[in-house]
Chains A and B, each alone.
Chain A
Amino acid sequence: MSRVALRPTRGIPPLAWSALGAAALLAVPILIRYGAPGSERYYLHILIQILIWSFIYTGWSLMGRFGLTSLGHGAFTGIGAYTTVLLWNVAGLSPWLGIPVGIGLATAAALLVAYPCFSLRITGHYFALMTLALTEFVRLCIVGWRDYTGGSLGTQPQRAPGGVSITALQFEPDRVLSYYIALALWALGLWMWLRVDRSMDRYALDAASQDEEAAASVGVDVTREKLKITGLSAAMCALGGAVYGQYQMYIGPDTIAGLGVSLNIVFGTIAGGLSVLLGPTVGAVFTQLLSEVLRVAVQGSGLTAQLGSAALALDTAIYGALLIFFIIYMPKGILGTILEARRRRRAGAP
C-alpha cells in the first residue's frame, strides 16, 4: 500500500539535524558544569522538569492529535506516581516492579472508561467531561485514602540509604544522572510518537477523526484503534508521572493528579503544537520557562514586597492569558505555526 499519497507528516527534522541535536543534548551537563558551575543543580533541575513534562505531553498528544481530547491524563499520571510510591512505602516493593503495576493500573482505568465512551460514540465535549470525572474520581480517592497517601498534603517515597539507589530507583541527589534518565525518557516518547506516526493505525485514526462512519465503512475498526492509542497514551503518562514522583521525591494530589494537571498537559501540548513531533516539547519548554522566568522576575522586583505570596500567582495569570491568546489566534501552537509559515514561504504562496 502506498503511503506517499496520504498526508505526509510534517515537522520531523532531517537525520543530520537530529544527530546534531542529540549530541548537543548529551553534552548539556558538561556545558553547564563549565559554563555555570555555581548553579549547575538549578539549571539541570529546570531541564529535567522540561524533559519529563515533554514526555507526558507527547504521550497526551498521541491521542489528542486525533481529536480525542482527554482531561483524564491527570488521573493517569497520578495513578502511576501513587502506585509506585505506595507500593514502595507500604509493601517495600521496588519501583522497578511498582512502575509496571502503576502503568498497568492506569492503562486498565483508561480502557475501562474509554471502551464504553468509544463504543457509545461519546465524543467532543462529552468525552472531555467524562474523562474529567475520572480525574476527579482518582483525585478524591487519593485524598480520601489519607492514611496511606497523606491526603491533600501528599507524601514522599521513603529514602533509600545512601541517596542514589538502583533498587529503590532513587536518583534525585545526582542531577547529572537524573538528567540522562529524563533525556532517555524524552527520547522514548519521541520514538513512540514516530512509531505511531508511521503505523497504519495513524491513518486509520486520522480517517476516524475526520469521519467515523466513513472510516468504519472502509473497514477501520474505529473503537479498537481508538482504544489502542488511548491505552498507549495512558501508559506513557503513568510512566511519566511515576518518574516525576521519583525525581521530585514528593507526590501530592494537586502536583501530579487532578484537573489542574490535566489542563496543564492539554494546554502545554496545544501551546507548543498538537500534531507535530516536537510540538509538546516546545510546549513544555515554553510553559516551564515562562513560569520560571516570571517567578525569578517577580522575586527580583519589588512586587513580592507589595503583594506578598500572592505575587506568585502572576505567572499563572500570564499563563492563562497566553493560553486564551494561543487558542484564539494560534490554534496550531508555536511550533505548528512556525512550521506552517516556513512551508508557505517555501511554496512561494503569500
Chain B
Amino acid sequence: MDCQLDIFFLEAILNGVLLAGLLALLALGLNLVFGVIDVVWICYAELVMIGMYAIFYAYTGGVPFPLAALLGILAVAATGALLHWVVIRPVLDQPPINQLLVTGGVLFFLQAVATMAFGIEFRSLGIRLGSTGFADMTFAWSRILAFVVALAGMLALWIFLSRTFLGTAIRAIAQDRQIMPLMGVDASRIYLVTSAVGGGLAGLGAVLMVLQYDIYPQIGLQFGPLIFMICVLGGLGSMAGGFVAAFLISQFIAVGGSCMATEWGYAVAFLFFMVAIFIRPQGLFGVRG
C-alpha cells in the first residue's frame, strides 16, 4: 500500500465524486422499480449492457451519437417494459424471492444472447473526449460529462415524479399498493410505466458508460453487484439514500483503487457495506417495514 496525502489523493477523491454521479443514476433506476413494484431486478446491469450495445451498433452504423444515445435510451426503456410484462407480471403474486430469482434467469439469458449476437470481443465506441487538467490533476471529460448528465437525469426524474400527474400516481402507488387501485389508479399501467422509466434510466446510464468503458457481454457482472449494494445501503426504495450511498461507495473504489489494486478497493467497499448494514439494517435513509 502506498498512499500519500498528496495531490493525487485529491485527484482520486474527485474522480470518486465523478463516479458517484454515474452510480447514483444507475441506483436510482433500480430503486424506482423496487420502490414502486417491490421487485429487485437482478438483471439490471444487463439492461445497461444491452443499451451499450444498442448505442454501439447504432453509432458504428452511421447514426450520429446524440441520436444513437436517444435510440439506446428508448431501446432499454422498451426492454424494461417488456421485462415487466413478460417476466415480472406473471410472478407478482408469488413469494418476493421468486421475483428476484426470475430476473436472475433473465440475467443468464441476456448475457448469453449478447455473447451469441455480439461476440466475446471487447468493443469500444472510439469516441475520445480527451481530458482537462487542473493543478497537476487530470480529469477525463467523459467522466465530467457523465457526472453532469447523471445529475441532470436525476433532476428530471424528480420533476417528473413531483410535478406530473403520472409521477404523482407512481409515488402514490409506492406508498400504498392496496388503496390506490380503489382510487381509480390503474396499477398495472403504473407498473409498466415505472418499468419503462427504470429502463430509461438504465439506458441513460448506458449512454454515459459507453463513453468511458469497453463493451463486452459480461460487463454487467462488474458493476451489477455494486449497484445492488448502493441501493440496499441507501435503503431499498429510498432515492435520496441511494444518492448518498453512491458517494460513500465510490470513494472506497476510487481512493482504494488508487492506493491498492483495484479489487481491494471493491473488496473493502463490500466489507464496509456488510458492516454498515449490521449497524443500520434498514439502510441509511430507509424506513423499516
Chain A residues near B (Cβ < 8 Å): 67, 69, 113, 116, 120-122, 124-126, 128-130, 132-134, 136-137, 140-141, 143-144, 258-260, 263, 266-267, 270, 307-317, 319-324, 326-328, 331
- Interfacial chain A residues near B172, Cβ < 8 Å: none
Other A-B contacts than A120-B281, A132-B225, A140-B270, 8 sampled, CB-CB below 8 A, are A125-B97, A140-B266, A259-B224, A316-B108, A316-B115, A320-B105, A320-B106, A323-B101
In this complex, which of A125, A266, A309, A311 has the most chain B Cβ atoms within 10 angstroms of its Cβ? A125
Please state if A267 and B101 are interface contacts (CB–CB under 8 Å): yes
> What's the least CB distance linking B86 to chain A, in Å?
8
- Interfacial chain A residues near B278, Cβ < 8 Å: 116, 120
> What's the least CB distance linking B208 to chain A, in Å?
23
Q: Does B147 contact A (CB under 8 A)?
A: no
What would be 23 A-B contacts, judged by CB atoms less than 8 Å apart?
A116-B278, A120-B278, A128-B40, A128-B97, A129-B232, A132-B228, A133-B225, A136-B229, A136-B270, A140-B270, A259-B225, A266-B101, A267-B101, A308-B119, A310-B119, A320-B106, A320-B107, A320-B111, A324-B87, A327-B98, A327-B102, A328-B102, A331-B98
Q: Which of B50-58, B61-69, B74-82, B88-96 contacts A (4 or more CB under 8 A)?
A: B88-96
Q: Does B159 contact A (CB under 8 A)?
A: no
Given contacts A124-B97, A321-B109, A327-B102, contact A310 B232 (CB under 8 A): no
Please state if B101 and A130 are interface contacts (CB–CB under 8 Å): no
- Interfacial chain A residues near B236, Cβ < 8 Å: 125-126
User: How many Å lie between the Cα of A311 and that of B91 in the bound state?
Assistant: 31
Q: Smallest CB-CB separation from B232: which chain A residue?
A: A129
Q: Report which of A134, A317, A331 forms a contact with B112, defined as CB distance below 8 A.
A: A317
- Interfacial chain B residues near A260, Cβ < 8 Å: 221
Please state if B270 and A313 are interface contacts (CB–CB under 8 Å): no
Please state if A328 and B91 are interface contacts (CB–CB under 8 Å): yes
> What's the least CB distance linking B241 to chain A, in Å?
14
Please state if B232 and A126 are interface contacts (CB–CB under 8 Å): yes
Please state if B94 and A331 are interface contacts (CB–CB under 8 Å): yes
Please state if A317 and B116 are interface contacts (CB–CB under 8 Å): yes
Please state if B108 and A129 are interface contacts (CB–CB under 8 Å): no
Please state if B266 and A320 are interface contacts (CB–CB under 8 Å): no
Q: Report which of A124, A259, A314, A327 forms a contact with B96, defined as CB distance below 8 A.
A: A124
Q: Does B285 contact A (CB under 8 A)?
A: no
Please state if A307 and B116 are interface contacts (CB–CB under 8 Å): yes
Q: Does B264 contact A (CB under 8 A)?
A: yes
User: How many Å lie between the Cα of A312 and that of B101 in the bound state?
Assistant: 24
User: How many Å lie between the Cα of A17 and that of B270 in the bound state?
Assistant: 48
- Interfacial chain A residues near B274, Cβ < 8 Å: 113, 130, 133-134, 137
Given contacts A69-B97, A122-B277, contact A321 B105 (CB under 8 A): yes
Chain B contacts with A in 237-289, Cβ cutoff 8 A: 260-261, 263-264, 266-267, 270-271, 273-274, 277-278, 281
Given contacts A136-B225, A137-B267, contact A122 B281 (CB under 8 A): yes
Q: Report which of B105, B260, B261, B263 forms a contact with A323, defined as CB distance below 8 A.
A: B105
User: How many Å lie between the Cα of A319 and that of B101 in the bound state?
Assistant: 14
- Interfacial chain A residues near B95, Cβ < 8 Å: 67
